[in-house]
Amino acid sequence: MMQGMAAGFGAALGGGLVPNFAQAAPLSNSAPKRIIFFLQNQGFDPYTAIPKGLKEDASLDSFEFEEPIKALEPLKHRMHIINGLHGLHTSPSHSAFFGALGGYRGGIGSPPRGPTIDHVISQHLPETILPHLCIGMDSLPNMRSRPTLATLSATGPGKPIFMHSDPQALYQSLFGSISTGEVRERYEARSKVLQSVEGIAVQNSRRLPANEKERYSSYTDGFREMNGLRGRLADISDHLKKFAPEYGE
């Protein structure tokens, strides 16, 4: 299900950050652009993300993809692959967390010290309904026990971006407006709760002192963004149906 959702929202891959690795054929200026950052916390062999036999800058057309990225092969004429991003440049001893994409020292329990590159780039691409989607993957029990995490991406100092880890919860958030049966019922019930919570949060924030109001605003902004996204997705439900993966366990 995770692969289907990622494909549904990120299938249109455009130009890369810099043309210094594996490149697709030039695209027209009107082509939508999507940039996907894939990070693994440990045990990742970077060569599994490099097309077989590719050792320098070249077109992807004549290369076969390794098994871990085989699903991207039909899109290779529309994408660039840039390899080598690593948290070692900011935290040589252990996981860098926000520092890996932020370019600063990071560690477990440390809040972000600034924006991360994925967020900054999303602000410079053409505006879309969903400019930034973070998906975390682990064993299914772990994903269900921690449906959201904030460890890698941020919009600024102390402002993390949450990753969606529970595939069923993510499906309901993205495709609940076009679903039927139990999925639709859960989506509508959750939407009502989120709208109520947003109203309460905004009302309570008015009574806070100025120094507390700024910190509290990250919560009210979060609810406003979630509710706004649900409304925007509902407005394009007919188009969204073309990309919805089959719902299942």
- Asked if the structure places residue 119 within a domain, the reply is no
Query: Do 57 and 22 touch, CB atoms closer than 8 A?
Result: yes
Boundary (domain end) residue, out of 85, 101, 127: 85
Domain region containing 247: 166-249
- Asked if the structure places residue 32 within a domain, the reply is yes
Boundary (domain end) residue, out of 31, 60, 85: 85
- Asked if the structure places residue 239 within a domain, the reply is yes
- Asked if the structure places residue 117 within a domain, the reply is no
What is the tally of structural domains in the chain?
Answer: 2
- Asked if the structure places residue 216 within a domain, the reply is yes
Nearest CA-CA partner of 248 in 145, 179, 163: 179
- Asked if the structure places residue 149 within a domain, the reply is no
Q: Decide: helix, strand or coil at residue 73.
A: helix
Residues 6+ apart with CB under 8 A from 55: none
Please give the single-letter amino acid code of residue 65.
Answer: F
What's residue 229's pLDDT? 83
What's residue 155's pLDDT? 92
- Asked if the structure places residue 173 within a domain, the reply is yes
- Asked if the structure places residue 161 within a domain, the reply is no
Boundary (domain end) residue, out of 52, 85, 118: 85
The pLDDT averaged over each successive group of 10 residues in the chain (249 residues) is 41 32 48 78 73 77 84 86 77 82 88 93 84 84 85 91 87 84 85 87 82 76 81 85 77
Please give the single-letter amino acid code of residue 162.
Answer: F
- What DSSP letter does each residue of 119-153 carry, written as one string? HHHHTTSPP-SSS---B----HHHHHH-SEEEEEE
Would you say the pTM of this structure is higher than 0.75?
no
